[in-house]
Amino acid sequence: MDSRMTPLLEHNEQFARTYTPTPLGLPAAQVIIVTCLDHRVDPAITLGLKLGDAAVLRNAGGRVTQPVIEEVAYLAFLGQRISGGQLTDDKRVEVAVIHHTQCGTGFLADPGFRREASQATGVDEAALEASAVADPHATVSADVERLLTSPLLPPRMSVSGHVYDVETGRVTTVADARYP
Ligand SMILES: [Zn+2]
């Protein structure tokens, strides 16, 4: 069957020819990025990340949901194990939450749209509301707080918040990196 993946797999064939594997270890940039799954905001491209640089968690809106918090907690545990014990200051990792303008989840701030989306998809209305990013500056600040106040946030992990502007391609820091 004709597959949309065909041209992408051809690209991968090129990629694999000159590929050098990266060993399992802490991400080189020592950053975990939480951002939206929107195809216009791929952080590898907007932030110039290379393979092995950063762990990236993406969902609708880039919201700090309970599953995201649990992923961060596990990544910190794994990082500690593979780096052989306690994470020293030079090995500390920062979680960077990046929301963006023109987010497709913005429509979900409207109750009528949300109800319609819930009825059409079967997704819980509260879950849809929780993923809404209508004002990225406000939601990114709220999500940084949520992560910083979570009992699951591992020690020695800082959190920062940023907004990506789809019009300009520029990332602006809204909440400077800080510890709980
Ligand atoms: Zn988005």
Each residue's pLDDT tens digit, 145-176:
999 999 999 888 999 999 999 999 999 999 99
> 159 CA distance to ligand 1 centroid (A)?
20
CB 100 within 8 A of CB 143: no
The closest of 99, 100, 101 to 146, measured between CA atoms, is 99
Confidence at residue 84, expressed as pLDDT on a 0 to 100 scale: 77
The closest of 59, 55, 61 to 99, measured between CA atoms, is 61
Each residue's pLDDT tens digit, 9-62:
999 999 999 999 988 889 999 999 999 999 999 999 999 999 999 999 999 999
| Strands 171-178 vs 157-164: parallel, antiparallel or unpaired | antiparallel
> 91 CA distance to ligand 1 centroid (A)?
30
Confidence at residue 90, expressed as pLDDT on a 0 to 100 scale: 75
Average model confidence (pLDDT) across the chain:
94
Can you state the percent helix, strand and coil of the chain, rounding each to 5? 40, 20, 40
> 104 CA distance to ligand 1 centroid (A)?
5
> 33 CA distance to ligand 1 centroid (A)?
14
Is the model's pLDDT at 118 over the cut of 70? yes
> 95 CA distance to ligand 1 centroid (A)?
18
> 103 CA distance to ligand 1 centroid (A)?
4
Total-model pTM: 0.94
Crossing angle (nearest 10°) for helices 66-82 and 136-148 = 50
User: What are the start-end ranges of the E strands in the chain?
Assistant: 31-36, 54-59, 93-100, 157-164, 171-178
Q: How far apart, in whole angstroms, are the C-alpha atoms of residue 170 and residue 179?
A: 25
> 12 CA distance to ligand 1 centroid (A)?
26
The closest of 79, 82, 97 to 155, measured between CA atoms, is 79
Q: What's the rounded mean pLDDT across residues 77-85?
A: 84
> 40 CA distance to ligand 1 centroid (A)?
8
Confidence at residue 2, expressed as pLDDT on a 0 to 100 scale: 87
Higher pLDDT, 62 or 83: 62
Q: Over pLDDT 90: what percentage of the chain?
A: 86
> 98 CA distance to ligand 1 centroid (A)?
10
